[in-house]
Structure 1
Amino acid sequence: MTAATHRAGSKEIREVNGGEDLEENTAAEMSGDFKRTPHWSDQLTVRGVVVSSAIGSLYSIIVMKLNLTTGLVPTLNVSAALLTFVILRTWTKILGRAGFISKPLTRQESTVAQTCAVAAYTIAYGGGFGSYLLGLNKKTYEQAGVGVEGNVAGSYKEPGIGWMTGFSFSVSFVGILILVPLRKMLIIDNKLPYPSGTATAVLINGFHTSKGDKMAQKQVRSFMKYFTLSFLWSFFQWFFSGGETCGFAQFPTFGLTAYRNTFFFDFSLTYIGAGMICSHIVNISLILGAVLSWGVMSPLLKGFEGDWFPSNIPHTSMKSLQGYKVFLTIALLLGDGLYNFIKIMFITFRNMLSKYQQKNTKTALFFPVAPPAVDNMMLDELERDEVFARETMPPWLSFTGYAVLVTISVVAIPHMFPQVKWYYVIFAYTLAPVLGFCNAYGTGLTDMNMAYNYGKVALFIVAAWAGNDSGVVAGLVVCGVIKSAVYMSADLMHDFKTGHLTHTSPRSMLVSQIIGTAIGCVTGPLSFFLFYKAFDVGNPDGVFKAPYALVYRNIAVLAVQGFSALPLHCLQLCCGFFGFAVAANVMKDLLPVRLGRWVPLPMAMAFPFLVGANFAIDMFVGTMVVFVWRRVSKEKAAAMIPAVASGFICGDGLWVLPSSMLALLKVRPPLCMMFVHS
């Protein structure tokens, strides 16, 4: 997930809870009876695993569609938590009415099940199926330029369920064990907020009240209504899409000239829903990026055709207009990523130094029995800390497990990819604990997971280290190793924060994370192949462009080849866009909050460069719906927007199953609706 969508995600959940301070809201909602906390084995139930497996599998398909179309994936944790709770509550009530005695649903069980579901579908967008793994295939190799220095013949590996599943299992579990020994320091001692983890806890705690249960039922009814509408609308559109440029998705809303420059509304309820979830500034940034790329840069650069770049080469070549689009996208991503990387590292170390100085200058007070002056909120915090610290995992077990998993990776990964030497894998896993800690600490403070930026740094280093013959493949694979380990470690800390605030056992959370990750390592590759076999994935002119596969491969080529890989005058343009990304972030941080919050996000502006402007228009429609809805009824909008948006996304996403089955069976739509000049 990108930094832009992480900011949008935390904002989304804060809005669901009325914009109140999350820690105070959590404490207030948890003032009830927590004395009877279930044993950790009772928190991890069969029904919870079954429900979370189903939700994780469904969301893996939805997330994969988003991943392979634009690469922009909004956070779906709210809808996952909502569906998990409602299905479990319905399960319990149905069994009760049938005369079967079942355990009552607790917030601990809801927390564990939600963690398992999210861990399962996280692999679909975090496993690299739309970026570094797909960047290894032959189609992306050809798009990067056959015969180009660094992009050597044979430096590709076609996707396969077997090796992709094996790779996912090899790299996804290591990150879970990296920071387990440090969980008390991060959650209790440093009291890191982990905004998304805290917000999820607020949501789950709110469900387990009479008022929250009624609101959840209203949200689910709304979800089901718009889910059905979205599914039927996708089904209706299918009948008119009997060709590459046919159907409502090709409707020239603003005229054919604008249509040729990708400015049209394509009636995609998926991205209208995504726009409703993401914050206004993300959607505004997408529109600005669309105007900059397709309204300004593309027409200007086309004017230099035959001068700056040849006119008689394929438009997919890196020496054509496509090369400028790809490398300007990379410049925006690197400028935004590098700035935020340095900023978060600075915040992290400044915070750690402040904590260390406070520890040396102040004597911590410890009350074996809370004195009368300590209020209920303090008592509740002490009780949460006691539950969280009570169940420990021996450090030797974490270290042993880490060593075993690393050994497996050192053997398995070079076997899958001969270009990857064993010492590259050792290098990656030597850095992973340090990078994982820095990322988890920074994520706890800012809610921005920078794992992709750590992965890109590793990609540059290893690609340059391995050299011309094997640099591209080695860099992409090691990027995946680092990214997976660093991402999963921070993700687990988010879950631990949620568990801490809901009095959930860390042991049950850890086991559910492992189960969910194992499910995701199977459903992730399967959902990818559902698209890969049924649709033309990676076609820059198709629906499933998978734009970041080419971006990652070209970063590797750039690391091997140097700046000679760039088209004419592209370096100067890249420097300008890199500087713009840094300047925009500086302005956002230096300006007053009321002004800085409207500075566009460079990372969000980068998406339309490769994908087109049409999805940005869809998302802007979503943000306008939210804007008007909040004006009419702010309270109702805050409660219902996530449910309606999730219904749009899930209904359209579920249509992928029947449509892919029809495509595999060679059943074509009966009609083609298209538009031409009169």
Structure 2
Amino acid sequence: MPLLSWWRRIHSEQSPSSQPEFTARAVLLGLAVGCIICFTNLSLGLQSGWISMMSIQSALIGFLVSRMLPIPLSPQEIIVVQTTAVATGTMPLAAGFVGILPALGLLDEKRDGSPPIHLSWIAAVGWSFSIAYFGVFLSPPIRKQVIIEEQLPFPSGTATAQLISVLHNMPPPDTTIRRRNGYHAVDSDDLPGVSEPPEELVEDSLESSIPADDDTREAVQEGWFPLIWSFAVAGLLTLFAYFVPVVFAIPIFGSYLAREWLWFFSPSLSYIGQGIIMGFPTTLSMNMGMLVGWAVLSPLSKLSGWAPGPVGDMSTGARGWILWTSLGIMCADSVISLVPVAAEYVTAVANVSRAGYAALDVTAKVDHDPEPEARLVPVRWVVIGLAASVSVGTVLVWIVFGYDAIQPWATLCGFALGGLLSIIGVRALGETDLNPVSGLGKISQLFFAWIQPGNIVANIIAGGVAEAGAQQAGDLMQDLKTGHLCHASPRAQFYGQLIGSTISIFVTTTAYMLYQRAYEIPGPSFPAPTAYVWLSLARLLRDGELPENSARFMAGFSIFFACLSAIRTRAARQELWYAKWIPSGVAFAIGFLNTPSFSMARLIGGVIEYVYRRRFAKHNSDIRIIVIASGFVLGEGVISIVTLVLRTFGIGVLTCWGCGHGMCGGCPAN
């Protein structure tokens, strides 16, 4: 009965004239889609360190499923589906299952002062609970600032809103920007001396993914066929590759280069689908990094004797040697890209200070939020939720890892730093569609190396706590932007976020434990490259030792990409056409982190996307290719659950034919 009363009260909070929003069918569909995305992201994250929010894909699948129901879902219900799915699907990164936990498992007692830490299922659930809600409760106050007051564009969130509007025959959302160049404390009409920037239209970086006419609407409404066939083809190929592992490890340049230098090709349709979604410029940057890292620096370090071990060894081999150059590039690119955001924030604070209390009094009377109080998340909930999530999270971290691993005061500092980094990350995401959590994570590690020196375990855990808040708040803010443009209830989205995050704790933990039982992590099938980034930086900050001659390359590439990032950031903010063609430092660095097979397959997807847009698309807003790419990604993600079950029950490969180069992850001979 209490649950029924709670559900009725939620519905009574919605406007009587509004469409249905927070409904059981919307939540259940969101959880179903989110669980599929969760498995997909966990698998892809452990393979490559990269995951996707899948906001547009969640909304699209929710819409297609709703066409089969007697009463289709309303636009606001679709937004609840999308919000719940994203909260469920991004937990593998937020809770560190693709980086933090594998890094703790790589610890060496002699070198790090701590034996490897492998959490049990209940301990992993406790860790996930400790960080699962902090970002959710941060979202409402940040929404007020960046979405209502500053009206940052949030390109992916805006793209999803426009997709939903077209599918439901709604008027296009108002995407004009009142405050694009930073927050002004008062309006020009309210206080002399403060000018209002002119209104301008959002030029969405994802505009190629936004539908705009009847042809696209018809294509999406009949989108089951391309979604199903792409899903089926990707799933069948994944299942076939499980039984014949060489299919995903083809030595296209010969067995010698595959065995000794890791040059092989994985024709994964999921990778190709990701390349389509990421776009040609990003995949091109990734492959430029692949060529520099694996065709130039890797042979140079090996042949010069700087990395004498096997090329794939992360400790003594070339892969571990080029990791440091990759780390330098990521840090430089992320920090430089954050400078304009930080400068705007400082300017905004200075403007408020100069305006004085009069400005504060004026703004206190002005509320630009179009939503009534009954549809907003009460401030009391936010305060209580933040206090509870921080206090309970600190206790849970202490219980899971122990006082010797990390002291409670350090965990509290992690939550505090996470709140600050969340603001920076959300603003960067709102302006550029990129949440630089990798760079923010490195900043947090640097901070904890200073306040708790010498403790590698504390450095990784506390850094993970800080990064989790920034990543989760950013992902959820995209959904709130979509809801704002489509007039969905922020409170309904908040409920969906809480439910999605809660269910994902158990789904992600169980999935990770199954993967860990069936596969070696890190290992050939799931190398977990970001785990080495976390651990290597923690060791560097403690010892200050780098592999031979890696420091000069790390410094040189860092300076180069810092300058390049400054040029790209300036060009992007001026909306110059060539900005997207300037190589992205983060994407370039990912080309170093992963073997060439990871990047080559995504480049194929990027080329397909580019050619399709230029030659075959009926218009720039044609999203047929996105439907097919979504099927590729989800098909492999779902079948990975099947192959995991097969591996758990001891059903192995049919043949190791062609695996003589040693790169077939599923072959027991390797």
> Please, what TM-score do these two structures have when normalized by structure 2?
0.82
Within the candidate set 385, 391, 407, 1:401 is matched to: 385
Residue 553 of structure 2 corresponds to which residue in structure 1?
A: 573
Within the candidate set 407, 414, 425, 1:428 is matched to: 414
Cα-to-partner distance string for 1:129-150 (whole Å, 9 max, x where unaligned)? 111122111xx225xxx633xx
Within the candidate set 619, 623, 628, 2:611 is matched to: 628
State the Cα distance separating 1:323 from its structure 2 match: 3.4
Residue 666 of structure 1 corresponds to which residue in structure 2?
A: 650
CA contact (8 A) 1:282 1:601 kept: yes
Residue 225 of structure 1 corresponds to which residue in structure 2?
A: 229
| Counterpart AA for 1:432 | G
CA contact (8 A) 2:129 2:393 kept: no
CA contact (8 A) 1:324 1:567 kept: yes
| Inter-CA distance 234–288: structure 2 relative to 1 (3 Å threshold) | same
| Counterpart AA for 2:442 | K
1:38 & 1:236 partners in 2: Cα distance?
A: 52
Residue 135 of structure 2 corresponds to which residue in structure 1?
A: 175
| Counterpart AA for 1:646 | S
CA contact (8 A) 2:289 2:592 kept: yes
Residue 334 of structure 1 corresponds to which residue in structure 2?
A: 331
| Counterpart AA for 1:249 | F
Residue 110 of structure 1 corresponds to which residue in structure 2?
A: 78
CA contact (8 A) 2:158 2:485 kept: yes
The runs of at least 4 aligned residues of structure 1 exceeding 6 Å deviation read 354-368
Residue 254 of structure 2 corresponds to which residue in structure 1?
A: 255
CA contact (8 A) 1:57 1:523 kept: yes
| Inter-CA distance 365–51: structure 2 relative to 1 (3 Å threshold) | closer
SS in 1 for 2:263: coil
Cα-to-partner distance string for 1:490-536 (whole Å, 9 max, x where unaligned)? 33332222222111111111111111111111211122223222222
Moved more, 358-367 or 222-231: 358-367
CA contact (8 A) 1:74 1:277 kept: no
Residue 488 of structure 1 corresponds to which residue in structure 2?
A: 472
CA contact (8 A) 1:41 1:508 kept: no
1:186 & 1:456 partners in 2: Cα distance?
A: 24
State the Cα distance separating 1:450 from its structure 2 match: 3.0
| Inter-CA distance 577–215: structure 2 relative to 1 (3 Å threshold) | same
| Inter-CA distance 219–596: structure 2 relative to 1 (3 Å threshold) | same
SS in 2 for 1:597: helix
2:314 & 2:611 partners in 1: Cα distance?
A: 43
Residue 22 of structure 2 corresponds to which residue in structure 1?
A: 44
State the Cα distance separating 1:63 from its structure 2 match: 0.9
| Inter-CA distance 67–356: structure 2 relative to 1 (3 Å threshold) | same
SS in 2 for 1:543: coil
CA contact (8 A) 2:394 2:411 kept: yes
CA contact (8 A) 2:20 2:76 kept: no
| Inter-CA distance 159–417: structure 2 relative to 1 (3 Å threshold) | closer
Residue 15 of structure 1 corresponds to which residue in structure 2?
A: none
State the Cα distance separating 1:454 from its structure 2 match: 2.7
State the Cα distance separating 1:77 from its structure 2 match: 1.5
State the Cα distance separating 1:44 from its structure 2 match: 0.9
Q: How does 1:631-646 map to 2 (within 5 A)?
A: 631-635=614-618, 638-646=622-630
The answer to whether the aligner puts 1:557 opposite 2:557 as a matched pair is no
Within the candidate set 317, 321, 331, 2:318 is matched to: 321
1:621 & 1:130 partners in 2: Cα distance?
A: 25
CA contact (8 A) 2:330 2:585 kept: yes
Within the candidate set 100, 107, 129, 1:141 is matched to: 107
Moved more, 313-322 or 192-201: 313-322
State the Cα distance separating 1:280 from its structure 2 match: 1.2
SS in 2 for 1:188: helix
1:365 & 1:436 partners in 2: Cα distance?
A: 24
Q: How does 1:418-567 map to 2 (within 5 A)?
A: 418=402, 419-468=405-454, 471-539=455-523, 542-562=524-544, 565-567=545-547
State the Cα distance separating 1:176 from its structure 2 match: 1.7
Cα-to-partner distance string for 1:157-210 (whole Å, 9 max, x where unaligned)? 113221111111111202222242453343222222222222211111222129
Residue 194 of structure 2 corresponds to which residue in structure 1?
A: none
| Counterpart AA for 1:141 | L
Q: How does 1:576-587 map to 2 (within 5 A)?
A: 576-587=556-567
The answer to whether the aligner puts 1:89 opposite 2:67 as a matched pair is yes
| Inter-CA distance 77–38: structure 2 relative to 1 (3 Å threshold) | farther
| Inter-CA distance 37–634: structure 2 relative to 1 (3 Å threshold) | farther
What RMSD, in angstroms, separates the aligned Cα atoms of the two structures? 3.1
| Inter-CA distance 152–675: structure 2 relative to 1 (3 Å threshold) | closer
1:225 & 1:315 partners in 2: Cα distance?
A: 36
CA contact (8 A) 1:435 1:486 kept: yes
SS in 2 for 1:159: coil
| Inter-CA distance 395–40: structure 2 relative to 1 (3 Å threshold) | farther
| Inter-CA distance 435–310: structure 2 relative to 1 (3 Å threshold) | closer
CA contact (8 A) 2:302 2:308 kept: no
The answer to whether the aligner puts 1:414 opposite 2:398 as a matched pair is yes
CA contact (8 A) 1:345 1:442 kept: no
State the Cα distance separating 1:56 from its structure 2 match: 0.7
SS in 2 for 1:202: helix
CA contact (8 A) 1:439 1:486 kept: yes
2:221 & 2:48 partners in 1: Cα distance?
A: 32
SS in 2 for 1:346: helix
Within the candidate set 191, 214, 238, 1:234 is matched to: 238
1:400 & 1:319 partners in 2: Cα distance?
A: 49
| Inter-CA distance 83–310: structure 2 relative to 1 (3 Å threshold) | closer
SS in 2 for 1:147: helix
Moved more, 632-641 or 578-587: 632-641
Cα-to-partner distance string for 1:293-322 (whole Å, 9 max, x where unaligned)? 1111111111222xx4556x9963634434
1:482 & 1:122 partners in 2: Cα distance?
A: 16
CA contact (8 A) 1:108 1:504 kept: yes
SS in 1 for 2:151: coil
1:657 & 1:177 partners in 2: Cα distance?
A: 31
The answer to whether the aligner puts 1:152 opposite 2:156 as a matched pair is no
Residue 147 of structure 2 corresponds to which residue in structure 1?
A: 187
State the Cα distance separating 1:46 from its structure 2 match: 0.9
1:639 & 1:223 partners in 2: Cα distance?
A: 12
| Counterpart AA for 2:559 | G
| Counterpart AA for 1:106 | S
| Inter-CA distance 277–41: structure 2 relative to 1 (3 Å threshold) | closer
SS in 2 for 1:83: helix
1:675 & 1:366 partners in 2: Cα distance?
A: 68
Within the candidate set 615, 638, 645, 2:598 is matched to: 615
Residue 181 of structure 2 corresponds to which residue in structure 1?
A: none
| Counterpart AA for 2:151 | K
Moved more, 40-49 or 61-70: 40-49
1:362 & 1:478 partners in 2: Cα distance?
A: 36
| Counterpart AA for 1:254 | F
1:594 & 1:57 partners in 2: Cα distance?
A: 38
| Inter-CA distance 633–354: structure 2 relative to 1 (3 Å threshold) | farther
2:217 & 2:284 partners in 1: Cα distance?
A: 35
Report sequence identity in percent.
26
Residue 207 of structure 2 corresponds to which residue in structure 1?
A: none
Residue 6 of structure 2 corresponds to which residue in structure 1?
A: none
| Inter-CA distance 50–450: structure 2 relative to 1 (3 Å threshold) | same
The answer to whether the aligner puts 1:284 opposite 2:284 as a matched pair is yes
| Inter-CA distance 601–400: structure 2 relative to 1 (3 Å threshold) | same
State the Cα distance separating 1:575 from its structure 2 match: 0.8
CA contact (8 A) 1:48 1:88 kept: no
Residue 41 of structure 2 corresponds to which residue in structure 1?
A: 63
